[in-house]
Amino acid sequence: MAPRKLAAGNWKMNGDLAALAEIDALVADYPAPGCEVLICPPALLIHPAKARAGDAIAIGGQDCHADASGAHTGDIAAAQLRDAGATHVILGHSERRADHGETDATVAAKAAAAHAAGLVAIICVGETEAQRDAGETLAVIAAQLDGSIPDGATAANTVIAYEPVWAIGTGRTPTTDQIAEVHALMRERLEGKVADAAGVRLLYGGSVKPANAAEIFAIPHVDGALVGGASLKAADFGPIIAALAEA
Ligand code: PGA
């Protein structure tokens, strides 16, 4: 069976309590969205977001610590995300890898912690522009997948997001052929590493917007999107959800 499609919004360090009105708008406009919808707001907003999201929209975190609890000032454990109402957590986003020095091993440890807490881990991979220009894209993605996916990963507890670093927040996107090439590689690479590899959702992320969503969702092995800027407003995220439901 084809994987259930997933439209995931990553609010990053944007939004406040007033911004939860965007979730209300999505719930009102898409009571039965036709695909899975997830919003990952800043951690402080997870609990109130869940109270507003109802059953139509899932809520997730943007990071968690690899340990279950302990002396880690400022960090959040996977079980705490879960307790607040999250069902998913984004891990290894390129902004975390760049700003916080997260390595593939860090990401794998965090994903294992997420799984242990009953969260779905959305593991992000992606090449820099210099790596693409050097012809290293497929090797980089393969190595990140190999290093970032923990033992015990399954189609039920793991989603992979391909996010070229140079496409994030820039308005630039790869060609459909470039996305197709990476997604085909990812599907192949998951065989033997993840139980039910064919069922793992593979998201594309990086400057997805209403105008390019349908074209991206038509690409083989693209099972949804991880959306940053265009997830902040229901007026933008809504049409992306609708395009995915129709794909
Ligand atoms: P963007 O961000 O949609 O604003 O490019 C995507 C992401 O970083 O997840």
**Domain 6-84+104-226+237-246 in this protein, CATH class:** alpha beta
H helices within 30-103, ranges in order?
Answer: 46-53, 78-84, 94-99
The continuous run of DSSP H or E covering 220 comes out as none
Q: What was the pLDDT predicted at 90? A: 98
- Cβ of residue 208 lying under 6 Å from some atom of ligand 1: yes
- Cβ of residue 207 lying under 6 Å from some atom of ligand 1: yes
- Cβ of residue 173 lying under 6 Å from some atom of ligand 1: no
1, two tokens: 């069976």
135 burial type by CB count under 10 A (0-12 exposed, 13-18 middle, 19+ buried): exposed
Q: What was the pLDDT predicted at 140? A: 98
The pLDDT tens digits of the residues spanning 46-61 come to 999 999 998 889 999 9
103 C-alpha to center of ligand 1: Å? 20
Q: Model confidence at 122, in pLDDT bands (50, 70, 90)?
A: very high
* Nearest residue by C-alpha to atom 1 in ligand 1: 228
Q: How confident is the prediction for the chain on average, in pLDDT? A: 96
**Residue 1 pLDDT > 70, yes or no?**
no
- Cβ of residue 231 lying under 6 Å from some atom of ligand 1: no
Q: What is the mean pLDDT of residues 125-150?
A: 97
Q: What was the pLDDT predicted at 56? A: 87
* Nearest residue by C-alpha to atom 2 in ligand 1: 228
Mutate to test the pocket of ligand 1, among 97, 168, 170 (most ligand atoms within 8 A of CB): 168
Q: Where are the domains of the chain?
A: 6-84+104-226+237-246
The continuous run of DSSP H or E covering 88 comes out as strand 88-91
For residue 227, which atom of ligand 1 is closest to its CA? Answer: 3
- Cβ of residue 123 lying under 6 Å from some atom of ligand 1: no
- Cβ of residue 171 lying under 6 Å from some atom of ligand 1: no
Tell me the C-alpha distance between 238 and 169, whole Å: 19
* Residues noted as catalytic: 93, 163
**Residue 2 pLDDT > 70, yes or no?**
no
Model-wide pTM > 0.85: yes
The continuous run of DSSP H or E covering 57 comes out as strand 57-61
Cβ(159)–Cβ(203) below 8 Å: yes
The pLDDT tens digits of the residues spanning 76-110 come to 999 999 999 999 999 999 999 999 999 999 999 99
Mutate to test the pocket of ligand 1, among 94, 125, 227 (most ligand atoms within 8 A of CB): 227
**Residue 63 pLDDT > 90, yes or no?**
yes
**Residue 175 pLDDT > 70, yes or no?**
yes
The closest alpha carbon to 76, from 102, 85, 67, belongs to: 67
- Cβ of residue 126 lying under 6 Å from some atom of ligand 1: no
144 C-alpha to center of ligand 1: Å? 19
- Per-position b or e across 22-44, b if 16+ CB within 10 A of its CB: bbeebbeebeebebbbbbbbbbe
Q: What was the pLDDT predicted at 55? A: 86
Q: Model confidence at 3, in pLDDT bands (50, 70, 90)?
A: confident
For residue 161, which atom of ligand 1 is closest to its CA? Answer: 9
SS3 call for 202: strand
